Structures are given as structure tokens and as C-alpha cells.
């Protein structure tokens, strides 16, 4: 018994390690932006009088998280003038991204959505800017975490990061709701000034991450497998990147004018507006990706960027994954990664709007959903970590998938009961405990799939894929609720989890993971 107690004590003691504590503060810094794009912004726009479907479309601004693998190699291989020389590669990029995050939040704060289309457009651009900056910070923090400590500390650093991340989320979630209501904004009496100062104050909390960056040391470890880009290569790569982004935006904007016509025609054919809109947008997205690929191909053909440099930067990490898992089915694994969190993410986009529609005030939402939910999520995370060690990652991954789908049915019950604080507490306890447990197992799963030689790029790809399709579908959650109502919507989100459960059951018999790496 004493030996077991000693082992538990030594494990707990590792949480006081400087690197582990650093990840707590970095987790806080990473957790701030996401709710300013999702739930807090949703309530702001709803109070400003926007339609529910328009509110959830703003969730697409966070797609930067889903495409961060595109510029992850550039962050890994490009130096920032002056900053990199003084701070080092990782710290300079972390600091740079943190300053961009503060600027993006301020841009949103200074845009009143009730001032017309132009103001709403500026706010949307600010949200996209925030998503891009925050995703960049995530890329570099992941790289810093991996390079700054050995495998013996990685689990502790990840747990500390998750705890800090949730605290950051509660600051930008519950904290923002408290501030906005205290400063005088509500559904009955909208106040732009209240929301403006709320966002500006939350932007200042990013100083926690900035101070941390200035105090820590640059990591000594470096797992990057390719050399730094020369100045000429860097300029050429940036030109290609800018051209590809320009092509993506141009096609996306140009196709917008014909989207409504095709949506109406498809709606007449299918008899379902939400489905028609989804299919048209899916084709539109495919066209933008095709145009982007063609631009990149042309630029490589004319040798704006050498194929060898492109191969080292983008192809080698992807090829490594497919080679290592060729016998176990790489596409099967990617499918599991892509849809594991679909039940949580699709529901999460509309959650705050749902609470408000049920008659809960911002104070109630903050106290129950955010503050109390934070405790349960962190508890679930630690429980998931312990169970993963005891039971294995795939078994806990399966348990998390079952619980995530099942807890969505509790929201269905709440939708029938209306304003029932005790029921809301029960829903939040179950949902957040399940979310914390499943996320801990999921991170262990992604880490086990990652090759240490290509950690930054491969982890960026995995974490991008895991949110891409759920967020696209989540962008229509408001329209889905308008079409079928809350009870049926929550039932559908639970049903979305059934294929995921089937994938994990198949993976248990097919995939061998090395969780020790």
C-alpha cells in the first residue's frame, strides 16, 4: 500500500515542475480566444438582434483551427525579424501570435454589429483574424511543449495545459457574460458599450501568456527534421502562400453571388433548405480547394518554390503517416479522427443560445454552465487520464464516445422542461464530465498516432481534421433548430455519435498503438 501511495505522490509532485506550471499559463492563454468566437459572440449578436442562423454562421470564423496544418510548417521554418534573434524561434512566434490575438479581439470590440453590414463585416473579419492568430499560437505552444521536456513529463504537461485552457475558457465565457450583464447589456436592453468594454477587458487577460513567454527559456530540444528556409526560400514560400490564400478567398467570394440561386433550385428538388444549403456550400468549398491546389501546382511548375523544399515541408510528414499505418488503414484512422467529436461540437455551437431560449439569464448560464461546468470538465480530464493508464486508450476512447452521445439526450429532456435549474445542473455535470474524459483519451490517441520526428506538422494535421467537418456542420445548427426544433436537434446530435462508436469498436480489433512515445 505504501509503495502505491509513494507512486501516486511522485506523480502528483510532477505538477510543480516549472515546465508543467508553464503549460498551465499557456493553456489559459490558448483558452481565451475560442469562446470569443463561439458562445460569447453568439450571445452578443443575439442581443444585438441578429437571427439565430446568422449567429451560428460566425462559428465558421474558427475554421482557422481546422486549417492550421497549412501554415504550421511555415511557422516551424520561418524566423521573425529581430524577435527570433532575441527570444528564439518558439518564444518569438508565441509572443507574435499573442499580440495578434489581442489586436483581433480589439478589432471585434470596436465593431458594433447593429451599425449595418459594413460593421458586421468588420466584426466577421476580426473573428477570422482571431481564429487564425489563435490557431497559430496553438501550433507553436504544441511545438514548445514537445521540445521543452521528455516523454516522462508530457502527460503532466498536457493535463496542466487542459486545466489552464478550461480556466481561460471560463474567463472568456462566464467572465464575459458577467461583465456584459454587469455593464448593462441584456436581451431586453442591448448595450454595445457593455460588450465593447467586455471584449477589451478580456483582451487584456492575454497579458498572462505574454508575461509567461517573456519569463521562460527557449526549449533546448528540437525535433524538426528539415533545415530553416533561407531568406530567398522564405520569400518565395510566402509568395506562394499568399497566392494560394488569395485564390481561396477570390473563388469563395466570387461563388457567393451564385450560391443562393443554386440553393433555391436544389431546395425545390430536395424539399429541404438546410440540406440544400449544406450541399451547395460543400461544393463551393471543394471548388476553392481545387483552385488553391492549381495555383500551388503552377507556382511549383515555374519554380517559384522548389519541389524538394515543398516535399520536405508538406509531403514528408504526410507520407510518414501513410507508410507507418498502411497495414492498419490510414484512411480509416483519419475518418475516426475527423468525426470523433462531432456530437459535442455540433451541439456546442448552439448551446448558449439554447440556454437563453429556455429562459436562463446570463448569470445563471455563467454560474451553472461555465463555472460549475469547468470543474466537471477538469475532473473528467483527470479521470480520463487515470482510466487511460489503467484500461488503455482505445477502451476509454470508446467509453468517451458512448457518454458524449448519451449525454446529448439529456439536453433533449431539458428542452421539454424549459427553465429548470436543477435539470440544467444535472445536464452540465454529465455532459462536461463526459467531455473531459473523452478529450483526455482523444489527446492520448492523437499523441500515439504522431511520429516524434514530425510532431508539429502531424499533430497540426490531426487537430485540424478533428474539428473541420464538425464545425462545418455546426455552422448549420441554428438552421437545423429552426427547421426541426430543439428536441429533434439534440436527438440528431446523439445519433451522430453512433457511427463513431462503430469505428472505435473496429479500431480496437485493427489498430495497435504505442502510447509510450
Q: Mean pLDDT, 10 residues at a time, over the chain (517 residues)?
A: 57 68 93 86 83 58 72 79 87 95 95 84 86 90 79 68 86 87 87 94 96 90 58 79 80 71 72 69 79 86 80 83 82 88 85 86 77 80 73 84 91 90 89 85 78 76 80 76 87 90 82 51
| Residue 55, pLDDT score | 55
Q: What is the pLDDT of residue 517?
A: 38
| Other C-beta atoms lying within 10 Å of the C-beta of residue 114 | 13
Q: How many residues does the chain have?
A: 517
Residue 283 and residue 275: Cα distance in Å, rounded?
A: 12
- Contact present, 424 and 360 (Cβ < 8 Å): yes
Among the listed residues 56, 20, 28, the one whose alpha carbon sits nearest the alpha carbon of residue 347: 56
Global confidence as pTM: 0.74
pLDDT of res. 361 = 82
Helix boundaries (H) for 111-223: 117-148, 151-170, 176-182, 192-204, 207-215
Pick the closest to residue 442 from 336, 330, 325 (CA basis). Answer: 336
CATH label, 15-222, candidates 1.10.540.10, 1.20.1250.20, 3.40.1190.20, 2.30.110.10:
1.20.1250.20
pLDDT at position 515 is 42
| Per-residue pLDDT at 96 | 96
Q: According to the model, what pLDDT value does residue 227 have?
A: 60
Residues with Cβ within 8 Å of residue 388, at least 6 apart in sequence: 396, 440, 441, 444, 515
489581442: which residue's cell?
A: 102
Model confidence pLDDT, tens digit, residues 328-384: 778 888 889 989 988 888 888 788 888 888 888 877 887 787 677 878 888 887 777
Domain with CATH 1.20.1250.20 in the chain: 15-222, 315-517
What pLDDT, on a 0 to 100 scale, did the predictor assign at position 516?
Answer: 39
User: Cα 251 to the chain's mean position, in Å?
Assistant: 25
Q: Is 49 left (phi over 0), alpha (psi -120 to 50) or beta?
A: left
Q: How far apart are CA 96 and CA 80, in angstroms?
A: 9
Q: Are 481 and 489 in contact (CB under 8 A)?
A: yes
User: Which pLDDT score, from 0 to 100, does residue 93 have?
Assistant: 93
**How far apart, in whole angstroms, are the C-alpha atoms of residue 54 and residue 157?**
38
How far apart CA 60 and CA 252 sit, in angstroms, is 13
480 Cβ partners below 8 Å, 6+ apart? Answer: 274, 489, 492
315-517 has which fold? Answer: Growth Hormone; Chain: A; (1.20.1250)
Q: Cα(150)–Cα(153) distance, rounded to whole angstroms?
A: 6
Q: Using only C-alpha atoms, what is the Rg of the chain? A: 23
Amino acid at each position: 500500500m505504501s509503495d502505491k501511495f509513494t507512486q501516486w505522490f511522485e506523480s502528483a509532485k510532477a505538477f510543480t515542475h516549472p515546465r508543467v506550471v508553464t503549460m498551465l499559463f499557456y493553456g489559459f492563454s490558448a483558452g481565451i480566444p475560442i469562446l470569443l468566437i463561439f458562445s460569447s459572440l453568439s450571445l452578443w449578436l443575439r442581443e444585438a438582434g441578429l437571427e439565430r442562423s446568422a449567429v451560428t454562421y460566425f462559428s465558421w470564423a474558427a475554421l482557422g483551427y481546422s486549417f492550421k496544418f497549412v501554415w504550421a510548417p511555415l511557422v516551424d521554418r520561418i524566423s521573425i525579424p529581430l524577435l527570433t534573434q532575441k527570444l528564439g524561434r518558439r518564444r518569438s512566434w508565441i509572443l507574435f501570435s499573442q499580440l495578434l490575438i489581442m489586436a483581433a479581439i480589439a478589432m471585434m470590440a470596436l465593431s458594433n454589429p447593429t451599425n449595418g453590414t459594413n460593421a458586421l463585416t468588420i466584426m466577421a473579419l476580426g473573428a477570422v483574424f482571431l481564429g487564425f492568430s489563435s490557431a497559430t499560437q496553438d501550433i507553436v505552444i504544441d511545438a514548445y511543449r514537445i521540445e521543452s521536456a521528455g516523454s516522462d513529463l508530457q502527460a503532466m504537461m498536457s493535463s496542466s495545459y487542459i486545466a489552464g485552457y478550461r480556466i481561460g475558457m471560463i474567463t472568456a465565457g462566464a467572465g464575459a457574460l458577467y461583465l456584459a450583464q454587469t455593464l448593462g447589456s441584456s436581451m431586453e436592453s442591448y448595450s454595445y458599450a457593455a460588450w465593447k468594454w467586455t471584449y477589451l477587458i478580456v483582451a487584456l487577460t492575454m497579458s498572462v501568456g505574454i508575461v509567461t513567454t517573456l519569463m521562460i527559456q527557449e526549449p533546448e530540444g528540437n525535433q524538426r527534421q528539415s533545415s530553416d528556409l533561407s531568406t530567398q526560400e522564405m520569400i518565395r514560400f510566402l509568395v506562394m502562400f499568399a497566392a494560394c490564400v488569395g485564390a481561396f478567398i477570390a473563388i469563395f467570394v466570387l461563388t457567393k453571388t451564385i450560391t443562393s440561386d443554386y440553393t433555391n433550385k436544389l431546395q425545390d428538388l430536395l424539399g429541404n433548405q438546410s440540406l440544400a444549403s449544406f450541399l451547395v456550400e460543400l461544393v463551393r468549398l471543394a471548388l476553392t480547394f481545387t483552385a488553391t491546389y492549381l495555383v500551388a501546382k503552377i507556382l511549383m511548375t515555374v519554380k517559384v518554390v522548389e519541389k524538394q523544399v515543398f516535399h520536405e515541408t508538406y509531403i514528408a510528414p504526410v507520407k510518414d503517416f501513410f507508410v507507418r499505418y498502411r497495414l492498419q488503414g490510414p484512411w480509416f484512422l483519419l475518418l475516426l479522427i475527423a468525426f470523433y467529436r462531432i456530437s459535442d461540437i455540433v451541439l456546442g455551437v448552439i448551446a448558449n443560445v439554447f440556454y437563453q431560449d429556455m429562459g436562463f439569464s446570463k448569470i445563471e448560464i455563467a454560474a451553472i454552465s461555465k463555472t460549475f461546468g469547468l470543474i466537471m470538465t477538469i475532473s473528467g480530464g483527470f479521470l480520463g487520464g487515470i482510466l487511460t493508464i489503467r484500461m488503455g486508450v482505445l477502451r476509454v476512447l470508446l467509453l468517451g464516445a458512448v457518454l458524449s452521445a448519451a449525454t446529448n439526450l439529456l439536453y433533449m429532456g431539458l428542452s421539454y422542461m424549459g427553465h429548470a435549474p436543477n435539470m440544467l445542473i444535472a445536464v452540465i455535470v454529465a455532459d462536461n464530465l463526459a467531455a473531459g474524459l473523452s478529450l483526455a483519451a482523444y489527446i492520448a490517441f492523437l499523441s500515439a498516432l504522431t511520429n516524434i520526428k514530425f510532431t508539429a506538422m502531424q499533430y497540426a494535421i490531426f487537430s485540424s481534421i478533428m474539428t473541420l467537418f464538425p464545425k462545418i456542420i455546426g455552422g448549420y445548427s441554428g438552421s437545423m433548430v429552426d427547421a426541426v426544433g430543439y428536441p429533434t436537434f439534440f436527438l440528431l446530435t446523439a445519433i451522430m455519435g453512433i457511427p463513431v462508436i462503430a469505428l472505435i469498436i473496429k479500431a480496437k480489433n485493427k489498430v495497435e498503438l504505442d502510447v509510450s512515445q
